[in-house]
Amino acid sequence: MLLDETKGMRVLCVNDHWQSPNRMTGPTVWSGDLFRTADRGIYFPKFCHMYMDNVWEVIGINTGTWCAHMGVSVDHNHWTKHKEIEPDDTTKYAESFLIKDKETYEDWIRTDAGNIIAKIRSLTAHNTYRTGIHMFTNCERIK
C-alpha cells in the first residue's frame, strides 16, 4: 500500500499507535522524486541521528508532500511510552546526539529550510495540497 502512494512527490509515515498523524514517526517512505529533489539524503549534512523527523515534517507540511497512511499500522514501541522501562545502550547512544542535533536543526531552519521548500514547491505547483498533512485510511484519502 505504501509503495502505491509514493508516486510524484511524497513522504509517507504510518499509524504508529503513538504520535501519528500529528508527528512523522515510525516507518517512513519517500518517493524517489521528492528524495532526489531535496538532494540531501535521509540524514541531511551535519545531523547525527535526531531531529530528522522534524526536518521532513517541516518540508512535508510546507510543500503538501507529507502523507500519514493510517491504514498501515506499525507499533512504535518507544521507551518513553513506558516510563518503567529504561532505555537500552543503543537508545542512549542515539539520544546522546540530542543537543548537537537540536542546534543543527535550528541552524537548518535559519539557513536551508526555505531553499529546499521553495525548490520542492516550484516542482509541485500542480499540487492542490500545498500545506498540511494528508491522511489515508486503507486506500481512501481523507482530509
The per-residue pLDDT for 128 is: 60
Q: Are the CB atoms for 130 and 64 separated by under 8 Å?
A: yes
What pTM was computed for the model?
0.84
More confident of the two residues 25 and 34: 34
CA distance 141 to 22: 16
Q: Are the CB atoms for 63 and 117 separated by under 8 Å?
A: yes
Domain layout of the chain by residue ranges: 3-142
More confident of the two residues 93 and 40: 93
More confident of the two residues 95 and 100: 100
More confident of the two residues 94 and 83: 94
Element (H, E) at 115: helix 113-123
**DSSP character at residue 87:** P
Please tell me whether residue 82 adopts helix, strand or coil conformation: coil
Neighbours of 64 (CB within 10 A): 20
CA distance 84 to 86: 7
- pLDDT tier at 68 (50, 70, 90 boundaries)? confident
The per-residue pLDDT for 130 is: 62
Task: Please report where in the chains the cell 519517500 appears, as a residue.
Answer: 30
Average pLDDT value for residue range 24-50: 86
More confident of the two residues 40 and 54: 54
The per-residue pLDDT for 137 is: 62
List, in sequence order, every beta strand (DSSP E) within the chain: 11-15, 28-30, 66-73, 133-137, 140-142
Neighbours of 111 (CB within 10 A): 9
As a dihedral over the C-alpha atoms of residue 133, residue 131, residue 10, residue 50, rounded to 10 degrees, the angle is: -70
Neighbours of 6 (CB within 10 A): 18
The per-residue pLDDT for 4 is: 74
Average pLDDT value for residue range 108-132: 84
Average pLDDT value for residue range 88-98: 88
The per-residue pLDDT for 80 is: 74
